[in-house]
Chain A
Amino acid sequence: MNGSLIWRIVGGVLNVGVVLLVAPLCQGVLRKVTARVQSRQGPPLLQPYFDLLKLLGKEDIESGETPPMQRFAAYLSLATVLTVACLVPMGFVAPMNGVADIILLIYLLTLCGICTLLAGLAAGSTYSLVGASREMMSMITLEPLLAIALIVGAVHTGSFRLDTVLNGSVYETNGVPWSGLIMLVVMILSFQAFVQRVPFDISEAETELMEGPLMEYSGPKLALFKYAQMAKLVIYSALFVRMFVPWGSQFVFPLAGLVFWAMFWAKVLVVVLLVTLVAATHARYRIDQAIRFFASLFAVALGALVLASYGY
């Protein structure tokens, strides 16, 4: 028992540490690749680290209508994301395995969106309120997609355990895993929205809403929010890898484990690159167009859930 507790602590620290360390790097890769696509030089790969440091060192200004809520939203947002990091097996077993299950995971992921909502409400300006309402609308239609994907896995394996479900469980049927394949397509189509990138960065739309909910943020609080968003990209990519392409990244003991661990992160990087390329080659959708798109995906996902419950 003690042994497993130590493993958990080590795993948790490792996951959180790696996410914190890798997230700005992924952002750097994203910016560099975007720049290349756009025939630009682009910032140095390490620029996001410096950006964060710079923001963290700035004066902490209280602004907006309810500054305490604004502060709380920024803290909560990074805290939530890092908690999620402890729930997802990232090359190792999930540190919180057995203590938490996928239901908690779904709740925490929703909480991430709620932080943006809180931020928008705290600012109280028209633009941030519009941003908050857009965030809410897309959250309502978007979150069920991921939940269904997880539940399809749970149905196949008959378990809510993190390491069981987050291990390609969507494919675990006797024949062709129709439901899993459908969910794969659904998730690919909606992935940009989960990580809030173009074409679905609607709630922040710089040219329409001037960053929407984040418009009153500056200095350290903005750094936390930005950090959370970068981490979100990594964590969702990790989730995607664990759910749909887990092969070759299971936890095996020491030496082989290291190779698999590296392979896992390589796959995460590939997902990040794909996100970048899609973002660089699309225009932003309007909220009504996006919602209609999510709604049709939701219908398809429900179909997959029905298939899953019949064992396909």
Chain B
Amino acid sequence: MIAREMFEEFKARFGPLIERADLPSDRRLFVFVDRSVVKFVCQHIFRELDARYVASIGTDDRPFSGKFLVAHNFAFDKDHVLCSVLTQLPENDLKIDSITKMVPAASWAEREMRDLLGIEPVGHEYLKRLVLPDGWPEGKHPLRKDVPWNEVPESYNEDNEFKFDETPEGCTVVPFGPFHPTLDEPAHFRLYVEGEMVRGCEYRGFMVHRGIEKLAESVMSYNDIPMLAERICGICGCVHSVAYVQAVEEAAALKPPPRAEYIRTIMLELERLHSHLLWVGLACHIVGFDTLFMQSFRIREPVMWIAEKISGNRKTYAICLIGGVRRDITHDIKAELRVVLDKLESEWRPVVSAVSKDRNIQKRTCGVGVANKLLVKNLGLLGPVARAAGVEIDCRHDHPYAAYDRVEFDVITAQSADVWGRVVVRMNEVFESIKIIRQCLDKMEDGPLQLEIKDELPVGRMGLSSVEAPRGESHHFVITGENNRPRRWRVRAPTYQNLQGVPMMIKDQQIADMTISLGSIDPCFSCTDRLETIDLRSGTTKVWSQKELLELTWAKTKTMTK
């Protein structure tokens, strides 16, 4: 089914309640529906047409249309179509039927919409605060257009604490976070534990929400944002910049030159290589197998070096711009890259065969952190988590972008649905990445790196882009706007979905399995809170407040930029 056929189908089923549609290509469908029918359209798409839930986006569109906009995005992976169900809400009645009951995966996205825009999902059963900090006053919604990007409300009360739900009977609480040696970033899992068994857990994250989307919509310009997007994640930054750039290119109907697409593909795969090698190392560290941790970091290092040669940085390549890339892969670097890949392949093969035969590691990972097909479908789990459960989804294959339609590779899957499956999938994906880079190097044609863009980008167009990050699909949604910047840019990182699956993965498992289960989704949170200093001379203790710390950092930044 192509997008137009889908639209016809919706129209036949729901009649005039389907208002209109944008069909920029066979693979994209933006369908505007009446808000009374949103719930049923989503149910139809998710259950009967068996689409995958991707993300929900809320927008304050008042300056342009006088209304708020809500979009639920779905992916028809087998048909290679991305579909967005949009509806408009009047300013004075910000209510929309919640779809969480039919599409459990939408739970966080709806809570986020409520926090940041004040759009009330009617019928959502768990409307606890998700994104906003605990000191933030009720009724203030930072993503609305009339709130300045740098405003901190007067009534902000930093002493407010998060209230966790009641502890189930017979359980003790084991706080896993906000800081824990296996979490590289702050996040708080409150485990309800009976003996050594985890009976449940509550999550409080978003402790370092940086307001990147708001910043982009208010002060940055189109070509600044790829650099900002790259800083969303320290591991898969390139994924975010490519995804953003592609979304804008799609909205503005730009096509980057082929050489640029190949270079993007190569950088994305280099990123996947280093990320997977890092993950296998960390997973081994979590189960106490430090030798393999060290070895996989050693094997990974040349990938970082070659990335530095190409882009000037080990990480955060800053290589993407709208309409192309900033740096070329020269003939010399090509040769060097091939050598790196050969060495990597020959060193990684023995590791894979050693791990595959290691009963010891299997004992710690088989049957642990299970996320079966049903959970994957309901919570929209992504990437290696889904593929380990035998769900064959991979954006590189399903929604090809950059040069992925010109290379051949296999989508690696496993059937065990547990942590071991994820280990196997990630280990073997390394070989696929090597294969892809080699093909790109062979096929890469000469030509320009950058499209010449003479006119201003059109206003009010929408673009979707899904990029397969090492952890799963990274989805970006862009509405182009005035002043050389997008009106709305929404980022849905893969961990956003996968994290929602963690409570189910660790339920009724041992505490010892918690870390590796969480680790197996390769979580990516993001840092800074409070710190305590002790004056040695007087022996007095001073706790720095968040405000004082912020002022200190601002002062420091000023002295450094002078």
Contact = CB atoms under 8 A, between A and B. Distances in A.
Contact of A207 (B182, B291, B294, B363): B182
Q: Which bracket fits the contact residues of B?
A: 20 to 34
B295 A286 contact: no
Interface string A53-94: 000000000000000000000000000000000000000000
A202 B511 CA distance: 12
B295 A38 contact: yes
A120 to B, nearest CB: 14
A199 B360 contact: yes
Contacts of A39: 294-295, 298
A286 B364 contact: yes
Q: Which bracket fits the contact residues of A?
A: 20 to 34
Interface stretch (B30-38, B72-80, B171-179, B238-246): B171-179
Contacts of A281: 291
Contacts of B289: 198, 282-284
A289 B359 CA distance: 13
A207 B174 contact: no
Contacts of B285: 207
B284 A283 contact: yes
A108 interface: no
Interface string A176-209: 0000000000000000000000110110011110
A206 B512 CA distance: 11
A283 B181 contact: no
Interface in A231-283: 280-283
Contacts of B364: 283-286
Given A207-B182, A207-B285, A282 B360 contact: yes
A202 B364 CA distance: 13
B196 interface: yes
A209 to B, nearest CB: 8
Interface string B155-183: 00000000000000000111100001110
Contacts, number: 80
A14 interface: no
A271 B294 CA distance: 24
Contacts of A202: 512
Contacts of A201: 288
Nearest to A200: B288
Contacts of A103: none
B60 interface: no
A130 interface: yes
A280 B294 CA distance: 11
Contacts of A38: 290-291, 293-295
A199 B196 contact: no
B172 A126 contact: yes
Interface in B355-405: 358, 360-361, 363-364
A126 B174 contact: yes
Contacts of B513: 286
A288 interface: yes
A127 interface: yes
B515 interface: yes
A134 B363 CA distance: 19
A53 to B, nearest CB: 21
Contacts of A199: 288, 360
Given A205-B512, A284-B288, 15 more contacts: A127-B174, A130-B174, A201-B288, A206-B288, A207-B285, A207-B287, A207-B515, A208-B512, A210-B181, A283-B289, A283-B360, A284-B289, A285-B364, A286-B513, A287-B510
11 contacts: A39-B298, A126-B172, A126-B174, A198-B288, A207-B182, A207-B288, A283-B287, A285-B363, A286-B510, A288-B196, A289-B363
